[in-house]
A and B are shown apart, each in its own frame.
Chain A
Amino acid sequence: MKLIPTRFLAGAAILALVASACSSSGASPTPAPVTTPAPGVATPAPLATPVVTPVPKAVTIEWWHITTGEPGKSIFQGIADAYVAAHPNVKINITVLENEAFKTKLATTMQSGTSPDLFQSWGGGIMQAQADAGMLQDITAAVAPWASTINKGALSIYALNGKQYGVPWDMGMVGFWYNKALFTKAGITAPPATWDEYLADVTKLKTAGIVPLAIAGKDMWPSMHLWTYLALRIGGGDAMAQMIKSGNWNTDACKAAGAEVVKLNALNPYQDGYKSATYDNEAAAVGNAKAAMELMGQWAPGVEANDSTSKKGIGADLGWFPFPTVAGGKGAATDGVGGGNGIAVGKNASPEAVDFLKFFSSVYNATKLNASTPATALSPVIGTESAVTDANLQLVLAGRGKATFMQLYLDQATSPAMGTAINEATIALFVGASTPDKVCAAITTAAAAQ
């Protein structure tokens, strides 16, 4: 008889477990984005319900960013703290994530039908997919009063079909970062202005026993930028836009860009082990003065320093020059490949979240990003340019300011699948396993599968 209560209890406990398992499964379903509402339904009309109450109601803003490094991380926190101090009803929950972790977490969160109020964005194809799924808020009207305070080109990266979904806080241009001392050693007096000069300088560096150019075969995208620039210089901005739009890459510009890469390859300009090198390996090669150049965005000096053995990089030896022009090319010397960072607004974000973006984009706060050492960003907020102290970054800013056409990084301007296809097709060319025609055909095939 002793057994009865024990058994009964055990049975009850198990039932409770089962019941809780079942109920929790009901409450938080496994990822079933089938139930994602149609985009039109999910996008609330902004400003339809303005919060005009005497006592402001408590609001929490969920903000995910990937600025893991200092001083940027503290600056972000400081701006959020300042906003909260001025708006006691608002609470800002910051989640700082590492780049890859952020992408995975955001994708799975969105698949379950929700999104953070504010989150890191690079615009382009991924933002398009998020907008199509109704995960983003159209903030065009809310931003309109202060849109003119931001660099127009940079702001347009976070807009689709005339609708603004986010705001940039960083905008730069890809160019060659080079080691002045190594250039001098190879007898090069001035950075090359044309592609022919560039190839000649590569030969000079080679002759002097210096590795001319570092690329990253494992990460693929650094050399993809080089190919993009060649296509842009040869075909011009219109041809580039047309290739992206039509999905037809079997063009003269595309093939000619590949042919120039083959010319470069023939000089054997890359560092040892470039086929399996990561971007960090590439940055270390330049930061340790083992390679003379890399083609990279505005963040290069910081990463080079961080990845170098001395943690200081090459210091004053570092210089910057824009991508050279190609003889007979249709592109202008002032056309650029660039991009940066922005903050996108989630579908359910409160008006306070957008107001915080305005605060974040004020000259006062944006200046902090530019003025930090090293610079956290090249802010696109007009009037913050002079806060940048670094001479090289001033060159990047000048390039950005003069840009007659700005192509967003090709692997981000297109859909993720296209971006991967472009990276894979171009790296095959750089490691000598493909031909210019094959690259264009592979990208065209990938575009057709979209």
Chain B
Amino acid sequence: MSATSATSARPRAGFKVPTKWVTISLFLLPALALYLLFVLVPVVQAAHYSLYKWNGLQPLDNFVGLKNYATALGSDTFRTAVSNNFLIIVLSLAIQIPFSLSLAVLLNRRFTGRTIFRVIFFLPYVLSEAITGVVFSLLLRPHALIDSGFSSMGLGGLIQDWLGDPGFVMITLFVIISWKYFGFHMILLLAGLQGIPREIEEAALIDGAGRWQAFRHITLPLLGPTLRVSVFLSMIGALQLFDMIWVMTRGGPLGASNTMAIAMFKAGFQSQQMGYGSALAVILFLFALVLALAYQRFVLRRDVEGAVTAFNG
């Protein structure tokens, strides 16, 4: 491959198109090789390991077929983990994104200090998940800042065992996740809003549309592409949830805050059931893949279409 591609790369008047493709593929090769080596090969390996009962050290010779998958799907712990992932997705779409959108619309107006507000709201996103987890773990300890905050406002009755109550822990975690990520979605949507020419909205207002009507029928549709990307990132993020929850609860108490990624890590690296852990990894991969493909196919399609056709033309 090496010699032929190098020689055929010499420019000749009649061979413009092949030369172009050779160059492109040559430039793509390193990235492709890395992608193959570090993404696709491990995916295939995980799928392979998932068919074995294996502790990661012994020889890979105890073939169990799909037993690991059956165990996973029959396990209450893992089912809780899956439903927790989807709970976060639903809550994010229902609460976090609308909240970010309203903030973005607000901060898109001109007023003094809006840059400061933008920075303040974006700031939590800059923190790493681990640091966020540690900080909130401290704040949420009994009688710590959050509890005394509630008490001093006379709301002592609302105090919960924030991270210790299996029935409440996911709510606590969702609030913290939202605190960390609303700023990111806000900035994304703000950028989208700034890409919408003011004249269109002004024209609608002149034509007699109310503020809400202008937002609903002009701004929102034009913000569509950004919104769809924001929703997509939020969904994928919720599926992969790990760091912060690991730091704060390690999936506890009693597995109430397990996510698929946490269940996978526990099985693989705590219990050293690498085969079972790989099966969980494959299930997580399939969830993410199906969700991503379906979303691309049915929702993002109109946004991507333009780009692809433009490339061919």
Contact = CB atoms under 8 A, between A and B. Distances in A.
Interface string B1-39: 010011001110000000000010011011001100100
A104 B246 CA distance: 15
B313 interface: no
Contacts of B2: 15
Contacts of B166: 433
B192 interface: no
B57 to A, nearest CB: 4
Contacts, number: 127
Given A273-B142, A416-B270, A14 B27 contact: yes
A146 interface: no
B10 A276 contact: no
In terms of DSSP, what is the predominant structure of the interface of chain A? Answer: helix
B271 interface: yes
A275 B56 contact: no
A420 B270 contact: yes
Please indicate which of the listed interface residues B11, B30, B37 has the most CB atoms of chain A within 10 Å of its own CB.
B30
B98 interface: no
A347 to B, nearest CB: 12
Interface in B31-76: 33-34, 37, 41-42, 45, 55-60, 71
A121 to B, nearest CB: 14
A324 B285 CA distance: 50
B172 to A, nearest CB: 10
Contacts of B55: 129, 415-417
B83 to A, nearest CB: 18
B164 A274 contact: yes
A206 to B, nearest CB: 17
Interface string A114-136: 00000000000010011011010
Nearest to A135: B57
Contacts of A273: 141-142, 161, 163-164
A340 B269 CA distance: 22
A218 B57 contact: no
A420 B266 contact: yes
Interface stretch (B123-131, B215-223, B250-258, B302-310): B250-258
Given A11-B26, A415-B272, A272 B142 contact: yes
Given A21-B37, A217-B252, A273-B161, A12 B30 contact: no
B30 A17 contact: yes
User: Which of A14, A281, A427, A431 lies at the interface centre, i.e. has the most chain B CB atoms within 10 A of its CB?
Assistant: A14
B161 A21 contact: no
Contacts of B56: 33, 107, 110-111
B165 A275 contact: yes
Contacts of A33: 56-57, 59-60
Q: Of A10, A107, A111, which is in contact with the most chain B CB atoms at under 10 Å from its CB? A: A107
B132 interface: no
Interface string B139-171: 001110000000000000000011111100100
Contacts of A32: 45
A22 B1 CA distance: 14
A416 B57 CA distance: 12
Given A7-B9, A30-B42, A420-B266, A132 B57 contact: yes
Nearest to A417: B271
B249 interface: yes
Given A30-B37, A32-B45, A133-B57, A276 B249 contact: yes
Contacts of B162: 276
B273 interface: yes
Contacts of A10: 26
Nearest to A4: B10
A111 B57 contact: yes
Contact of A38 (B5, B37, B59, B273): B59
Contact of B272 (A30, A274, A276, A416): A416
Contact of A22 (B33, B41, B266): B33
Contact of A30 (B41, B58, B250, B252): B41
A107 B56 CA distance: 8
B60 A34 contact: yes
A18 interface: yes
A4 B11 contact: yes
A417 B272 CA distance: 6
Contacts of B57: 33, 36, 107, 110-111, 129-130, 132-133, 135
Given A7-B23, A107-B269, A420-B271, A275 B5 contact: no
Contacts of B26: 10-11, 14-15
Nearest to B57: A133
A272 B161 CA distance: 9
B30 A11 contact: no
Given A417-B273, A428-B254, A281 B33 contact: no
Contact of A276 (B9, B41, B252): B252
Contact of B252 (A17, A133, A218, A417): A218
Contacts of B59: 33-34, 36, 38, 133
B271 A18 contact: no
Interface string A24-63: 0100001111101010000000000000000000000000
A21 B36 CA distance: 11
Contacts of B163: 273, 275-276
A3 interface: yes
A129 B272 contact: yes
Contacts of A275: 161, 163-165, 253
B273 A427 contact: no
Nearest to B56: A111
25 contacts: A3-B11, A4-B11, A7-B9, A8-B6, A25-B37, A33-B59, A34-B59, A36-B58, A36-B59, A103-B269, A107-B56, A107-B269, A107-B272, A111-B56, A111-B57, A129-B272, A132-B58, A217-B164, A273-B164, A276-B163, A281-B141, A416-B55, A417-B55, A428-B254, A433-B166
Given A275-B253, A433-B254, 18 more contacts: A3-B11, A11-B6, A18-B29, A21-B30, A103-B269, A107-B56, A110-B57, A111-B57, A129-B58, A135-B57, A217-B252, A273-B163, A276-B162, A281-B141, A416-B271, A417-B273, A424-B254, A431-B254
Interface of B: 2, 5-6, 9-11, 23, 26-27, 29-30, 33-34, 37, 41-42, 45, 55-60, 71, 141-143, 161-166, 169, 249-250, 252-255, 266, 269-273
Interface of A: 3-4, 7-8, 10-12, 14-15, 17-18, 21-22, 25, 30-34, 36, 38, 103-104, 107, 110-111, 126, 129-130, 132-133, 135, 217-218, 220, 272-277, 281, 415-417, 419-421, 424, 427-428, 431, 433, 449
Closest A-B pairs by Cβ, 4 of them:
A275-B164, A133-B57, A273-B142, A276-B164
